[in-house]
Amino acid sequence: MPKYYRKVKYIFIVLILFFVLCVTGTNYAKNNDIEEEKPNNIVNVNNNNSQPDTLTSTPNPPSVEPENKYFTVNVDNEKIYDGELVLVNSNYECKFNGKNIISLINYKNSSYLVADGNVMLNSGNSLDALNSMMETFFQNTGLDNVIISCGFRDIDYQRRLYEREIANLGEEGKKWVAKPGYSEHQTGYTFDLSLLKNGLVEKFDGNGQYNWINENCKYYGYILRYPADKTDITMIYNEEWHFRYVGIPHAIYITENNLCFEEYIDYIKNISIKNPLNVSVSNAFNDNQNHNYQIYYVEASEGTSTNIPLPNEDCNYSISGNNIDGFIVTIDNIV
């Protein structure tokens, strides 16, 4: 064979070998990808054990299928920082200044007191719930001396309060007053209670007949925000007078499971629409109805908005940001 042809032959063989290696390499990479995807699919199927789900009966479910069966609403990612379930503490700043703030003295009923005209709260569900709770408390105990001593505080007020407390107590003051921008009072969903006794203002500690409020506030959507046994998590000393509105099913779940709000927000992140948290409530808010609430979390998508899945178009739902990274959906089924 002439030298020239031998060279061509060798080049041809090298090219074939190179081609074979390339094809084998690509297949190997593809196989590796498939291997890596398998565990996720298995986890998805196992996660659906308590809810009937078409995904379980599909032999090889494509990863896009589960999303398609839900109705979705598109929510702006700015809303992560908005709503009744925003977690505000020393790590997570409140990004809004109340919601339709009103002066409580003009909206309260006669079953409780208010410190002065400067006590402000959000109007809406949380205000209606407070009025209803205090009215029922009065009907049950005959006591009308509970004072709402503090409600919404704007960031400037909180700054003055914080600086005064640090001046008085030094570093210790930080455990009593939240730093400006990081107070739950800025949400407008929070109030502090005190008592009027013999013309003097006393601390509210939830003892005696007043314990009715601590025991029943969950049925009106309120929680005692800083329990004595959770100070290592909340980083705020036991404040027996500080209540926060989060909505009925959430308040009931938090209270009955002895959680603080931080723990609840953490817990709910593992709850998806495929296997939602169910909370059944009868006659909450004295409405004589049975509610079957379904609660789940949706992580915010990258970009400017998130498609939030809903079980169906007609469901009665509300969506709140968690003030961290996503949304909590609450479906209210009246049964």
Residues of the shown chain interacting with Zn ion in the complex, contacts defined by CB under 5 A: 192, 242
Give 328's Cβ-side CA count (13 Å radius).
29
For Zn ion, which is the closer residue by CB, 187 or 306?
Answer: 187
Both tokens of residue 257? 């499971």
In angstroms, rounded to a whole number, what is the distance separating the alpha carbons of residues 62 and 181? 45
Count the neighbouring beta carbons within 10 Å of the beta carbon of residue 49: 9
* Of 239, 262, 263, 299, catalytic: 239
For Zn ion, which is the closer residue by CB, 231 or 301?
Answer: 231
Question: Is residue 202 annotated as part of the catalytic site, yes or no?
Answer: no
Shortest Å, Cβ 157 to Zn ion: 12
Using the structure block, give the residue that is written with the tokens 């809903």: 310
For Zn ion, which is the closer residue by CB, 217 or 331?
Answer: 217
Residues 6+ apart with CB under 8 A from 86: 92, 94, 187, 320, 321, 322, 323
Shortest Å, Cβ 286 to Zn ion: 26
Handedness of CA 129, 97, 72, 60 (dihedral sign): negative
Shortest Å, Cβ 117 to Zn ion: 19
Shortest Å, Cβ 190 to Zn ion: 6
Query: Between vectors from CA 233 to CA 159 and to CA 192, what angle results, nearest 5°?
Result: 50
222 to 9, 30, 31, 211: CA distances (angstroms): 84, 53, 53, 14
In angstroms, rounded to a whole number, what is the distance separating the alpha carbons of residues 189 and 97? 11
| Residue nearest to Zn ion as judged by C-beta position | 242
174 to 12, 122, 183, 231, 264: CA distances (angstroms): 78, 26, 11, 13, 24
For Zn ion, which is the closer residue by CB, 99 or 242?
Answer: 242
Using the structure block, give the residue that is written with the tokens 């027996």: 240
Shortest Å, Cβ 41 to Zn ion: 47
In angstroms, rounded to a whole number, what is the distance separating the alpha carbons of residues 23 and 210? 77
For Zn ion, which is the closer residue by CB, 148 or 277?
Answer: 148
In sequence order, which ranges of 58-149 are alpha helices (DSSP H)? Answer: 65-68, 125-141
Asked if residues 84 and 320 have their Cβ atoms less than 8 Å apart, the reply is yes
For Zn ion, which is the closer residue by CB, 242 or 250?
Answer: 242
Both tokens of residue 184? 């739950």
Query: What's the distance, Cα to Cα, between the start and end of the chain in Å?
Result: 91
Shortest Å, Cβ 76 to Zn ion: 30
For Zn ion, which is the closer residue by CB, 194 or 294?
Answer: 194
Residues taking part in catalysis:
239
